[in-house]
Amino acid sequence: MARDLSDPGPGLLLFFTERHLATLTTLRPDGTPHVVPVGVTYDAATRTARVITSGTSAKARHVRDGQARVAVCQVDGRRWATLEGSAVVRDDAGSVADAVERYAQRYRQPRENPARVVIEISVDRILGNA
């Protein structure tokens, strides 16, 4: 059963340091969901999740086009967590470098991508069983 985790606790925070892929759901202009696998990082202190991607990706386009409500979900067996919130696309060098560093710490150094942006999610709801 899903629990709204206003105070996620150490189990969930640990879950978001382990190497797991997640899915990011954005909305197309017609309101239908677009779900893709992503690597995600989560900063509990600021309640911010970050996904790096190409600036030309559909997920970045959806957020830029005003479909700012997103959800990122990570699953490992019976453990799962969904981070919901409002997203923005950041393309400034500092934001992208910070997101790449966080990604590299959790996963691995990503390949070079001069068109890279970061989808930054201000998390306002956490659901899960982690």
Per-residue pLDDT of the chain (130 residues; tens, 9 = 90+): 455 555 666 777 788 889 999 999 999 999 999 999 999 999 999 999 999 999 999 999 999 999 899 999 999 999 999 999 999 999 999 999 999 999 999 999 999 999 999 999 999 999 988 7
Q: Tell me the two tokens of residue 62.
A: 């959806």
* CATH code, 29: 2.30.110.10
pLDDT of the residue at 111: 93
- The pTM for the full model equals 0.91
**How many structural domains compose the chain?**
1
Domain housing 29: 3-129
Report how far residue 23's alpha carbon sits from residue 122's, in angstroms, rounded to the nearest whole number: 16
**Count of residues in the chain:** 130
Question: Do 52 and 39 touch, CB atoms closer than 8 A?
Answer: yes
The per-residue pLDDT for 124 is 93
Contact status, residue 35 vs residue 21, Cβ threshold 8 Å: no
| Span between the terminal Cα atoms of the chain, in Å | 11
Given a contact cutoff of 8 angstroms between Cβ atoms, the answer to whether 55 and 116 are in contact is: yes
Q: What pLDDT was estimated at residue 8?
A: 62
* Widest CA span in the chain: 42
CA 34 distance to own-chain centroid: 14
